[in-house]
Chains A and B, each alone.
Chain A
């Protein structure tokens, strides 16, 4: 059967909306009044306190809404609520870097119910937002090419519904789009590249819902799909239960993480990307295994997309869609990371067992020490490792090398790095350093500043 709402159109629960393998339960969406979505507007004039607007042009006209600024909607997902601080935080971060009409959509009345009902309510919510965008166009002369919809979980498929009803919508960002009732469904029902001019997706909980309780989709559904840390297990989400619940940001944040840590990471990465754009470079690759063992490195002709807020600065190859990108992130905020390949050729008096580390030094800052190898250190052998440093040291000036074998070495073996090659991932800058030869087991060996920057092409 069917239900119709003013300005929204009619909604049926016939196939493919229900009665299919992926969508067994049929539920008609609630009315806009019952969902009671609240639109909380933040602008450069009101960065701290929202103004509540609605699909009434007079209310919009009397607010700080400015049609010359880009408009971005942020939608939460299942069980979540709009005045949850991650939405307003995201708006405040955006306002710190750009002039924007940032609208947090609070549809908690429609999302805090049975999942199958919430998954149906997003159809009406999407129609309402599309109606608001049509008001922007008709009464304020702001076209959909200046509107961007960001949705988390169920909110991502709601954004798809907005896009389906708004030809020319500029961009949809899907933060871990929900899997149950959407993955494997026809494009009409779920997010797909046709829903906006540019669709970028972050997958952070892509394991199957059954049996792993992975809430997010693994299926690529955008023009470009990012799989941070492989998309299944996010670093920092495998803390023991006590440490998860007693979170830095308090028990409530900890409980949310306990329930869906991986799933929530997607919006945390997006928020972090707003002020750290260079820290989320995505590398094109077929799968995570290939990426982690270094096959998809460095960026082909220095042209990799940036996961998150600045993903739309990537020049999409014409007709390109469902392109997959991989990257590693941090295990706690700030999540940005900078990928390097380090190749070390060592020399010494004899083979020892132990470990060796390197640290990269730029003009202003330096990185932590990262282990290149542990085990047999054979003179003359070359070892390489991929590292994701937690700060961007800019142009590397020199590298420090250290080795240790946790043993007293009566013979005081001499060990050194005869050559270190460092390749920066996002723009393929190579650095070759000649090591000075003599070292002892603990003391640091300062590798001389590089002879030339791109002398050796690996």
Chain B
């Protein structure tokens, strides 16, 4: 049976959220600046991502990467403040050739 379903914390994917700390997936994802944010799964390899910020504050335009992956971001100037630094999840260990 589904584990206990919270309104505030421990939220499954698809539930409305404000802070990523509320979500089981620890990613509160917002499609655009005006849209409501919902808990969403972390990004898989080759998918877009936000550089993971240690404190689970606020929500992300793109979720951080799954385990073992790094968000290869092209750092924009205002990046860290407005959380707009996006990239693609890459496997840091993948030998460059096979990753192509």
Contact = CB atoms under 8 A, between A and B. Distances in A.
B2 to A, nearest CB: 5
Interface stretch (A11-19, A75-83, A181-189, A360-368): A360-368
Interface stretch (B5-13, B53-61, B74-82): B5-13
B13 A331 contact: yes
A246 B36 contact: yes
Interface residues of A, number: 23
A240 B44 contact: no
Contacts of A359: 44-45, 66
A402 B44 CA distance: 13
Nearest to B99: A446
Interface string A414-443: 000000000000000000000000000011
A238 interface: yes
Interface of B is mostly: loop
B59 to A, nearest CB: 14
A444 interface: yes
B94 A243 contact: no
B46 interface: yes
B98 to A, nearest CB: 7
A442 B91 CA distance: 12
A382 interface: no
Contacts of A239: 12, 14-15
A331 B11 CA distance: 14
A366 B41 CA distance: 15
Interface in B1-41: 2, 5-7, 11-16, 36, 38, 41
A238 B45 contact: no
A332 B38 CA distance: 12
Closest 8 CB pairs of A and B: A444-B68, A243-B15, A368-B44, A243-B16, A402-B68, A369-B66, A240-B7, A444-B93
8 contacts: A238-B5, A331-B13, A332-B13, A332-B14, A366-B45, A367-B44, A442-B67, A444-B91
Interface of B: 2, 5-7, 11-16, 36, 38, 41, 44-46, 66-69, 91-95, 98
